Structure 1
């Protein structure tokens, strides 16, 4: 029995959630500063601040860490005050080559996706890989900005495609037939988000005039992990899909956290006086630990409003405020459907599979058994929060690039065909 099997067996017999050793087998060791559900964190210990969980920004199903106090929503201590300039927004152009507007018709709607793209670079003998990312609920494609930069630093020929899902970021929706208006509930079901991702990938190929589809590695965070797993399970991308990686989402913990979702949404600030204030809130509450990533990923979460000052109803002057761009509460009818069946789809889909978790995420029985059977690779980032790809982009990139290289079929050296050897006059 391996060390990993013994660790799981011991934890199971004790009736406690398993503690996963880090790093686990099949992954190289490397060392290294949002989606609609809060990261449920333990109470901060005075003598072990590194093990405390950071509160999420109401943009993904967070990591649940059991605690004897039961204070799952205990918020970590804020960081020291910094000047507004320290939290100034950063442009997406520092992380991606271009942006595209990818439109398609869905029933009575015209959906135009905001897509951030860095094209893969191909050599005469080998096409560059395309890493396709999908964010979680309430987040945007720019949650992967610093990860994209880190992947390119390790793999200069890599392409990165990151989209804003419908109802998020700069993606827009237009009703085509005004006599048949939307009923007020935007369809963000798992099937619809899966259709959107496949459509965006295919239409990006057409827009960029790529002769063939590059080798694809799917990466999904939280809800996005469920979406990329659904794409893999369908098999729509065929042999172009090499492998996929899921970041900090497991079916059981996601579903358990749904009961606390509505309360969390009500507890967060409704508005911010500036983008800098929104960025600062995410950093000081511990939702995001990496200031650089927060400066590029938080602005797309907020939208600008203008209100007249309450103390002067006759004044024409306006003050500037920002509120949340995505109406996460309206997506409640779809929450359960995002995650039910995730474990089975993840384990049964073809292709290489990588699961990266923050802290001591509780795996359900199905996932524990699958890991011990070697059905997927698993790595733990104990010092990261729920947005582990933002908190530790270099470490996440290293794990994903190594994972891609292990699944890169173009690197395989196949034996010569018998027919070719006979034509060359060789004995077989």
Structure 2
């Protein structure tokens, strides 16, 4: 990206709403950070600015202290109005999936922002961002799902007699499967909520979710109801490069935690999530307490084993840039750094094929680190693509029909005669 483009991006960022800095406590004995129960494997700069989100009902700006509210969890009900469980049966695979979603229904013909999280995350990754969207655009709705084998979405067998409850079910997290799941959730939500027609939709996907929403947009099954789609911090080139070091990263992070609060604390101190408020609501959905843990002192483990998803990593991202540029609808790419653009996207951006926004203050979890700025950009993006705001000139046929009607009402016109 040229220096001129970088300057333009910084100028746009300066106009966005600012977010309050978050104060992090240093561990006792100095500034060296250690993951819970693990060796010192993090070299992040702990002095970087993080963010918090104001709220009139919650004490979110209280100075964090060990044992205080700083690492206590927040519930989904603090950010969404309802949760839904949508059952899908797939006889060909003998599976029943209970899709779990968080929802704020739109009102007054408002749009529906449909959010898809990244690998290993959950629908609550967009919780704080959803709240910020509603502050800016109160009529908007937000649907944020838990992908299969993530969060509270459960996959089981249709015929329970086919095996006991501990029978292992092969994980299917292919891009094609996740795309079908997303379309099912959207359609089934329409049925469950009794909507006569779908609202105008803006798809938003982070990381893996970005690949899923792009695939859905490219297929075009949502028709004219899909206004636009936004991808957060993933492009094909850098994603494929990052896969080479993914196993090494997974080997360095903690595999279990002594408590839920310690899991929240690790995410904020390692700067995996730089916004403590978002960590307090999203991290609890990533962990669960094992009934018979192998380590009694650390019973909390990850819900999604990312090592098991390795067979699908390349499938998620191959062809992503091409599909992103070719799919119909408005296109937005939000990145945490200018170095993440690959060749195809650099060319597309120079040709004006999509909107590019850079958040240099954020880490990979853009929507969690900078929820207010992300929400502002998403709402502005929707408004630019809102067809209802367009005032089109009348068609020639409509003008002719109107003229003929006026003649009929006023009587047949003939030659003008002098009295």
Following TM superposition, by how much is the alpha carbon of 1:108 offset from its aligned partner in structure 2, in angstroms? 1.3
Q: Matched residues in 2 for 1:351 and 1:308: separation?
A: 48
1:418 alignment counterpart: 396
Query: Are the aligned partners of 2:94 and 2:158 in contact in 1 as well (CA < 8 Å)?
Result: yes
Distance 2:112 2:335 in 1: 23
- Residues in 2 aligned to 1:100 and 1:211: alpha-carbon distance in whole angstroms: 18
Q: Secondary structure, in 3 states, of the residue corresponding to 2:150?
A: coil
> Which of 301, 305, 314 is residue 327 of structure 1 equivalent to?
305
Contact 2:293 2:299 in 1 (8 A): no
Q: Is contact 1:139-1:169 (8 Å) kept?
A: yes
Return the alpha-carbon distance in structure 1 between the equivalents of residues 234 and 335 of structure 2. Answer: 7
Alpha-carbon contact 1:244-1:351 (below 8 Å) kept: yes
**In structure 2, distance between residues paired with 1:88 and 1:360:** 35
CA distance in 1, matches of 2:386, 2:89: 34
The answer to whether residue 141 in structure 2 is matched with residue 172 in structure 1 is no
Correspondence for 1:380 among 355, 358, 375: 358
Is the 2:175–2:212 Cα contact (8 Å) retained in structure 1? yes
8 Å contact from structure 1 (residues 353, 375) kept in 2: yes
**Structure 1 residues not aligned, in runs of 5+:** 9-18, 34-71, 311-317
CA gap 1:129/1:135 in 2 versus in 1, 3 angstroms: same
Deviation at 1:24, TM superposition (A): 7.0
Q: Is the 8 A contact 1:117 1:159 kept in 2?
A: yes
Residues 221 and 392 (structure 1 numbering): CA distance in 2 closer, same or farther, change over 3 Å? same
1:366 counterpart = 2:344: yes
Of residues 262, 278, 286, the one that matches 1:293 is 278
Map of 1:345 onto structure 2: 323
1:100 to 44, 66, 84: 84
Helix, strand or coil: the match of 1:151? helix
Q: Which has the higher helix share?
A: 2
- Given the alignment of the two structures, is residue 117 of structure 1 paired with residue 95 of structure 2, yes or no? no
In structure 1, distance between residues paired with 2:196 and 2:173:
32
Larger Rg belongs to: 2
Counterparts of residues 191-202 of structure 1 (less than 5 Å)? 191-202=176-187
CA distance in 1, matches of 2:147, 2:3: 39
- Preserved contact between residue 306 and residue 319 of structure 1 (Cα < 8 Å): no
Question: How many Å apart are 1:419 and its aligned residue?
Answer: 3.3
1:187 is paired with a residue whose SS is coil
Aligned residues: 368
| Structure 2 residue corresponding to 1:355, chosen from 323, 333, 343 | 333
**Which of these residues, 221, 232, 238, is aligned with residue 253 of structure 1?**
238
- Residue 242 of structure 2 aligns to a residue whose secondary structure is helix
Superposed CA deviations along residues 237-278 of structure 1, whole A, max 9, x for unmatched, are: 000000000000011111111111112112111111111100
The answer to whether the aligner puts 1:144 opposite 2:133 as a matched pair is no
Partners of 1:320 and 1:386 lie apart in 2 by 27
Tell me what 1:83 maps to: 66
